[in-house]
Amino acid sequence: MKSNEVRTKYIEFFQDKKHAFIPSAPLVTQNDPTTLLVSSGMQPLLNYFLGEKHPNGTRIVDSQIAIRAQGITNDDTLEVGDNRHTTCFEMLGNWSFGDYFKKEQIQWISEFLFDVIKLDPQKIYVTAYSGDDKYNIPKDSESVEIWKTIFKERQIEANEIEMGTEKDAASKGMQGSRIFYYKDKNWWSRSGLPQNMPVGEPGGPDSELFYDFGTKHDKAYGENCHPNCDCGKFLELGNSVFMQYQKKDENTFVLLPNKNVDFGGGLERITAASMNEADIFKTDLHYSIIEKIEIVSGLKYEGKDRASMRLIADHVKGSTFLIAQGVLPANKMQGYILRKLIRRAYVKMYMLNSEVTSESFAELADEVVKIYEDLDDGYGFKLELSQSDHIKQIISEEISRFSTTLKNGLKLFNKISDSEITENFAFDLFQSSGFPFEITFDLAKQKGVELDRTKFNKLFEEHQKKSRAGASEMFKGGLADTSEQTTRLHTATHLLHKALREVLGNHVKQMGSNITAERLRFDFSHFEKMTDEQIAKVEQIVNEKIQEKLPVQSEILSKADAEKTGAIHFFGDKYGDKVTVYYIGDDLKTAWSKEFCGGPHVKNTSEIGKFKIIKEESASRGVRRIKAIAT
């Protein structure tokens, strides 16, 4: 099947099961200081697992565009280059917030894959969680019994086996089994296994679905194959998470108020399985980009160059979506991730063809736009053909700047003698000027010098540790902070937004925000630096509204009715049929501030405290940034 058909069939299948469709959330997270980009389908829906009511009800279906940012920041390619891993992907999701649970979820997802997508059940293998005695979390035998019934109905023998850890599994192999218990797999939270979760984070056991392409097992990954083997024979299609626990303290888990379901299925992977094609880069979600790479590089998608072409296609795709959603290359935050994606992809292309120009490289973005330009706008991530020139300009400008780094690195390389070409030199060149070590290794080889990657990797690992330590707060993957202080600051952003529009004009639009317990950061559209008088006036208005002790209330309305109230809503978001409007005042009609929002908020502005703007600066072209505190 084509990806559009798989996506449409999935949405329609769950709509028939009384699920409300919601659009993809923006990639740039709002009011979540724990991460920079949406990297999973559940991330924008976290509050609803913890008890907040979703405006569209208890059953939700969506398709979320996502980018795995952590590995990019840590200089880790996250396996991109094999047949199935990407940093940019689309996640089909269905969600139950205290409604249905294991029986319905497993039955429905099997129906979708077997009866709608027409996958051969004989090629499907499933896994389950074997439990954790330390935290008193039981073995998920309930999911296994449901799967055994489903396979039996399709005349398939479904033996189960306890695999232990992944290392144990490599020594056991399949042993004719259909269902596999794992100890260090099949638990899902944003932070991984129970012992890695921060206090407050929700999680639960999961049941994963694997498709067997029947390819030969690569013994480089162990003597025996099994569903979680990394050799590429098996492809994980999706994961039903039964989100029912929350970490209370370091040694204790408690049940959430509701039993929830969080299913995530990779559109790229399900599409590949529907074609019985083991390489997801040969689906229509990537292959036109690959074909363009072949033209630009003058090489074919095969052999030793295949992994590089996969990485280029993936990273250009991620870059295109980020630019389309307003991100620009920079040295920090989302801009840093974008810069890394563009530069890493260009290095791989340079290694394939050193004559490639920034303009021809940027043209790869055209292929990404074409893949998504016919997508229904309601999905929330349609790419417009009119965006192509802007996207290509940003990529081309970034490559032009990066070309200087490449040229300077080449000059330094050519100045030294062969005896000075060492692993330390390669790392120093990388660390000081960003010169890609892949090129250093290649140039050294051309001079007859074989550098030791193990020695280089040791130096690089030390660099990674420092990078991870520096980014630990931003990428810890923990629960979005809903503490008293961040809740106060979140409500303060509503006051700030309205005050800015009163002082500067209605052209002001919120472009993003980031809130921690210490401060709020608020980005907004404005064409020039604010004067001291304007800053003082905004601060005065916010504090006046705090002193007026205004109530903070909310109503769930249809999108059309919400818009009629005059509630503002920006970020380029797409909204579902129903939305939550938070308003500050006695009633919605006369409220001073009205915004589409998902919380959390204080109940009265008097709870915020004294508001103080501590900095006003440029965030990017046409975007200003305010940092403020509440004491």
Q: State mean pLDDT over 565-572.
A: 74
* Per-residue confidence (pLDDT) for residue 563, from 0 to 100: 87
* Per-residue confidence (pLDDT) for residue 473, from 0 to 100: 44
Return the higher-pLDDT residue of 258 and 14. 14
Please tell me what DSSP assigns to residue 453. H
* Per-residue confidence (pLDDT) for residue 464, from 0 to 100: 66
Residue 469 pLDDT exceeds 60: no
Of 331-345, 452-466, 585-599, which gets the smallest average pLDDT? 452-466
Distance CA 319, CA 323 (A): 6
Residue 476 pLDDT exceeds 60: no
Determine if residue 618 is left, alpha or beta; phi over 0 gives left, psi from -120 to 50 gives alpha, anything else beta: beta
Return the higher-pLDDT residue of 333 and 218. 218
Distance CA 581, CA 363 (A): 41
pLDDT (tens digit, 9 = 90+) per residue, 156-169?
A: 999 999 999 888 88
Determine if residue 326 is left, alpha or beta; phi over 0 gives left, psi from -120 to 50 gives alpha, anything else beta: left
Residue 205 pLDDT exceeds 80: yes
* Per-residue confidence (pLDDT) for residue 454, from 0 to 100: 84
Q: pLDDT band at 367, cuts 50/70/90?
A: very high
* Per-residue confidence (pLDDT) for residue 36, from 0 to 100: 82
Containing 411, the helix (H) or strand (E) segment is helix 388-415
Q: Are residues 64 and 90 in contact, defined by beta-carbon separation less than 8 angstroms?
A: yes
* Per-residue confidence (pLDDT) for residue 347, from 0 to 100: 85
Backbone phi, psi, residue 199, to 5° = -60, 135
- Percent of the chain at pLDDT > 70 equals 93
Nearest to 623 by CA among 250, 411, 335: 335
Residue 391 pLDDT exceeds 50: yes
* Per-residue confidence (pLDDT) for residue 482, from 0 to 100: 58
Residue 480 pLDDT exceeds 70: no
Residue 288 pLDDT exceeds 70: yes
Strand boundaries in 68-175, DSSP class E: 88-97, 124-129, 160-162
Strands 510-515 and 611-620: unpaired
* Per-residue confidence (pLDDT) for residue 471, from 0 to 100: 47
Q: State mean pLDDT over 255-260.
A: 91
Q: What is the mean pLDDT of the chain?
A: 89
Residue 148 pLDDT exceeds 60: yes
Count the neighbouring beta carbons within 10 Å of the beta carbon of residue 415.
8
Residues with Cβ within 8 Å of 367's Cβ and at least 6 positions away in sequence, in order, are: 288, 289, 291, 292
Return the higher-pLDDT residue of 384 and 600. 384
Cα of 106 vs its chain's centroid, Å: 25
Residue 448 pLDDT exceeds 50: yes
Looking at residue 32, its amino acid is: D
* Per-residue confidence (pLDDT) for residue 229, from 0 to 100: 92
Residue 569 pLDDT exceeds 90: no
What's the per-residue H, E or C state across 132-146? Answer: EHHHCECCCHHHHHH
* Per-residue confidence (pLDDT) for residue 76, from 0 to 100: 44
**CATH numeric code, 484-630:** 3.30.980.10
Fold topology of 3-281: BirA Bifunctional Protein; domain 2 (3.30.930)
Q: pLDDT band at 479, cuts 50/70/90?
A: very low
Of 77-81, 297-301, 473-477, 611-615, which gets the smallest average pLDDT? 473-477
Strands 234-249 and 252-266: antiparallel
* Per-residue confidence (pLDDT) for residue 438, from 0 to 100: 75
Distance CA 320, CA 317 (A): 5
pLDDT (tens digit, 9 = 90+) per residue, 522-562?
A: 999 898 999 999 999 999 999 999 999 999 999 888 888 88
Q: pLDDT band at 44, cuts 50/70/90?
A: confident
Asked if omega into 257 is within 30° of 0 (cis), the reply is: no
Please tell me what DSSP assigns to residue 473. T
Q: Are residues 288 and 367 in contact, defined by beta-carbon separation less than 8 angstroms?
A: yes
Distance CA 541, CA 42 (A): 37
* Per-residue confidence (pLDDT) for residue 30, from 0 to 100: 65
pLDDT (tens digit, 9 = 90+) per residue, 392-418?
A: 999 999 999 888 888 888 888 888 888
Please tell me what DSSP assigns to residue 355. T
Most confident of 64-78, 267-281, 345-359, 456-470: 267-281
The tokens 């074989």 sit on which residue?
Answer: 450
Of 26-30, 109-113, 383-387, 416-420, which gets the smallest average pLDDT? 26-30
Q: Please state the domain extents for the chain.
A: 3-281, 286-415, 419-475, 484-630
The tokens 């449901």 sit on which residue?
Answer: 146
Q: State mean pLDDT over 336-360.
A: 90
Q: pLDDT band at 72, cuts 50/70/90?
A: low
